[in-house]
Amino acid sequence: MKVILLGTAAGGGFPQWNCACEQCRSSAPPRTQDCVAFSADGTTWHLLNASPDIRTQILATPALRAGPGPRETPLRSVLLTDAELDHALGLLMLREATGLTVHAPAAALHALTEHFPARMVIEGYHSWDWISAAETTVDGLNVTPFPISDKQPKYARASTMPGPWVIAYRIHDPATGGSFVYAPCLRTWPPGFTAFTRGATLVLLDGTFYDGAEFATATATATATATATGTADPAVQQGMGHLPITATLPTITGHGGTRWAYTHLNNTNPVVNPHSVEHAAVLQAGAELPPDGTEFTL
């Protein structure tokens, strides 16, 4: 199985268009928004999430470009972990695709119908298949979803739809024995998640924030809450729906044989600077911070 990291930044990308912080004005390598492509044999491909940067990401990736027929593309499906805009806006960019299958948690399909009606919009162009994520097989690869949290997109306005709103996926290639877990949105380390990742060749984890102090400066509301409660309060860190790297790094070290990598890096995260002490600390702990375009053969 082949896996390509098309984008590795959180919503807004890096640098973020509306941020003039020192890091966004630095020469640290840019990162596009979180999105992954995988393929059993390199001929047909599947996306994990559909980032708003998907057009640029496809054009930058020879394996994903149109062909071999004049109106053919190798894309067959999109597996959404959630309905956050940085993971779902790309569906609209893909509207020219004559047939795609979209897998998503039922709550995310609800959001894409009632709150951000991408599904209705796309149905005006082409008829796609929209299915509630469940254990399945794509091109001979086994796909297993895992419930992560009930973190909803802000635009869902506290919907009463039951969760899970966020899931992770494990993709296993029976031909090679390789497998990877994709979990870019971890509000907590949920019960059973250690077992879900066990024995995987590669795990891509939520790396939005480095630590609680960074979280406190990431948003104005967060600053107010963090000031009131202390910036290292895990409940505050979880309020954004993203466990910081400092909370997951101790958990993952010692899981022998598995490669751990962080993705969905926020523009505020010091690890985006390859010369930062935080970047060095992640590598030192045995985890990876792969740039956009990184390919894995599993």
* Binding-site partner at residue 9 among Zn ion, Mn ion, ligand MLT, none, CB < 5 to 8 Å by type: none
- Report if residue 84 touches Mn ion, rule: CB under 5 A: yes
Point out which span in 80-88, 135-143, 187-195, 212-220 binds Mn ion (CB under 5 A).
Answer: 80-88
CA distances from 178 to 173, 206, 207, 293 (A): 5, 21, 23, 20
Interface pattern 223-262 for ligand MLT (x via CB under 6 A):
------------------x---------------------
- Does the bond joining 68 to the residue before it have cis omega, within 30 degrees of 0? yes
* Residues numbered 78-137 forming contacts with ligand MLT, rule: CB under 6 A: 84-86
Bridge partners, 37 (sequence order): 4, 47
List the one residue out of 225, 129, 232, 147 whose CA is nearest residue 186: 147
Shortest spacing between CB 188 and Mn ion, in angstroms: 16
Binding segment for Mn ion among 57-65, 77-85, 149-157, 196-204 (CB under 5 A)?
77-85
Neighbours of 169 (CB within 10 A): 22
Calpha distance 134→86 (Å, rounded): 22
Pick one of Mn ion, ligand MLT, Zn ion, none as the site partner of residue 85 (Cβ within 5 to 8 A by kind). Answer: ligand MLT
Position 206 contacts Mn ion (CB under 5 A): no
Give the number of other Cβ atoms within 10 Å of residue 191's Cβ.
Answer: 8
Residue 13 binding ligand MLT, by CB under 6 A = no
Distances (CA, A) of 120 to 116, 221, 287: 9, 33, 41
Give me the 259-288 binding string for ligand MLT, x by CB under 6 A, dash otherwise. ------------------------------
Q: Which SS3 state, helix, strand or coil, does residue 197 take?
A: helix
Q: What residues line the site for ligand MLT (CB under 6 A)? A: 10-11, 84-86, 185, 241
